[in-house]
Structure 1
């Protein structure tokens, strides 16, 4: 639905036009006519009114310019021409609802209904050129004057002729019904509509455009006809010039027995001049770009008779874009020939006498071969090692011949890792390719310290080789806490110096042993009554910080399970729920402390794994706990 507002300025109306294609010389003729028309005197757009009111009118609202008779779609033209001296004709009726509606203090539908009856004819020439004629008649127009102070809107109420359209297009390349065609075209609009009406613009207009399209075959008897166009409308009035666009496709059954599909078309102004105006007043749109969508179907009945219908909404609030449009047509065009299309000659691109359908190398001249994979390929030895490419397992790398067909023509590779011995830094050890020559073909060494990962006790930290397997490939101070073994009792976890040699260099609150991150300061839980869940006592930040630091110091730890436990007071289902809540609470605390959430999983074990007999309050308190266990390491 078009949304408009009024203000003081001067301009003329804006009208969108479709695009068509034509032949070179007629295009020049039409272009010359259009340019000459631009120099003609311009008629006034406003009707005579009292001096106290300003008249607004004279705008070609119709946004649908039908494709010439014989085209596949309703509003998007095709680059196809089809034949010589082939006439085609159609009668089209289209109805637009609310193409010009005013909003604001005085809302009204200035043009609430507009219907056109069109007579269209075309003639194809020399299978290259199509000339066409389209004459529209506005047979239904209705609306209301919003009563804006000082502004009189022309409200249509009677039938009127529209602007006569002359068209020409010339196909540049692509045969009729080919998958891709291209054409150039142009329209010339002659101002045959009454001055000041909504059926024409009162001035000559020219519309050059380019078209592409074609017919894409599917499984018989289906195909898809498609078209796209882009162009411009050059006006001899004060209305702004516009860019036009359109695209559509239709599913075709048989030889054009049925066509059904969507199409989109529209226009955009090339300047910010008002769309509809008279001296002293303008009407502007909330959206300058016209756009409409149609879904249509056509059926061929007998001989060349064709019937069709389409409908769809306007997609913008620009002047002239209706809330919805309905279209019906009856047309005639010569029935498609039932003769099969001529078959293309089998291709042989390289000219070696072997058709592309059987040529394994269709772009390179070759020789015949019983091997289908080499039939039509040249007899070559690209690496010059004396082993022909047809039998060379490494046709781009020279190597000796071998009875083993998988190694024939390949350089020696003793360890079989796919890296030739001449560039393999570890020719007797299977490895992987590497950009570093010293590592190419060698087993992994992520930290690049010369100690292979499979024997490196610290594969992510560069260190020195050592006969001590637990220290091989590790730096002297693994955890970076400033203490070195034997002074550091926990060489893989940061800690402070301590007078107790067994605690020096170790975290204060935890240890890693037997795949458990054991907390020396346990996480305690307090019961506030059987009918309330346990709550966790506040955990000092230093405990969470040490857990986070330990996980950062051990990137090989990929997954830790936070296990929640309960005592045996209450029923097992209640205890299991409480245990899960405890585990979830501790996991959340650790994530907030900086531990990546993907490294943690929480699980409740209820009262199934006590560490004390559950006979005293102290024992029960010990069983209400959370533990951290390492589930996955590299």
Structure 2
């Protein structure tokens, strides 16, 4: 087994012999460049796509392909028989009927060079530029899938015309052909911020003369798209494997070399602006040490290719091209040209949706419930659907409660069922606690409520006030109820007045701690009734003193209570303080008991949810 350096040196010697022989014989030399660019407009640099988008839409690009040391030998004295080779390629393609793509590639070697290996008896042919390469003509047809869809299948081929120079390693001695199949697709639309592209191909090359062996070709590529089609970042691998153990590099004189695989990796980016102006660059290493595989290859390009149209525009373009329903099947073979369908080996069903998936004798095209068997109906929204026993608008096939009228739900297990916000199985209409999950109860006030919904420690039916936090009491009518506070429709009433402490002659008021127990229950009442959105804390006085004095006094007391409640946890936006002075008396100010009744603080509910 020879080492890689010995093999490389031997290869170099063989190629020099070929180059020398080519001066007097037509059998020496061959096309060295193993990079075959994809047709103009394809998404990747070297791996061909299966797509053929558009009709009469041209695409062009100019590409510079640079290979560093495509033929070199190792050893103590490295030899670069071909130290570099750069091709300028002018490519164009034309799409027809959204199905066929015709292309041409015109390569020109603009720079190449190499070293004389100094082998005795072998005349070295100096490499020159510019030199024409082999002109390539291509054709590709998309067999399956739609343009810019997630999966496409295409079949293509190339014809290489021997316009290049075998002696200069820019062309083959005879015409060469190549066929390949391509798979590929796209995830994400032209409007998506992130998309994904993939391609894979495989084929065979043949012809080109005795120095160009037949070979199997294959490749794969993947890329991410950012900002629709603005920026593409990806990687691609392409390779060629000789079909045989040895290569016949020359027939006169006979020169053979061990078969080896050419393989390269490219990491590239493309930027698309102004509707299709494309700039691209890629670089990557050779993955093998075969003849024609450089240690490094760099590619740069600029071109024009129309960007994929949004879905509605693609559908319109497909209709013009003869595919009105945009299902990828041309109208002339589509048995249902106006309805998107699937391919079928039966010509009578090709391009049609599944005829009758639920087997109810109502074709899917007319079936309002195509996956659920039902009866035929003159009403289009009910045709082919099961009965609707409870007449709630949800047929029995999807109605989770077919005998009880209900409403819509995102949960299939609740479609057509009465509302049950807490999911405890008790309809909201009879649930005493519709937002708290609880068991059923014969007591309407406890039905659907947890054991202790107000969290006061008094559970179940023993709680006379199950939705108000209270205290244990030997009186069953008071057990679990607040001691001092009750909530009505428009007021939180207290059974004892709030008292204040008066400091000195300044008459500055603050809440007396003896009233803390009362205000705690006021706070709990507000927190346990989330529908209460605004409470007015009212301050009132008797008629002792002037009107201005009593207004200030009542306002100060209302604000003192408001501050206490905010400090205790009531949101500030739920409270407003207002003093009324002696404007709204409850008792007779001429007697002591009346004046005591008039000196008070009240908590009026002035706004609930749903109320103006």
* TM-score of the superposed pair, with normalisation by structure 1: 0.48
Ranked by relative contact order (alpha carbons within 8 Å, sequence separation 6 or more), the top structure is 1
| Higher CA-based Rg | 2
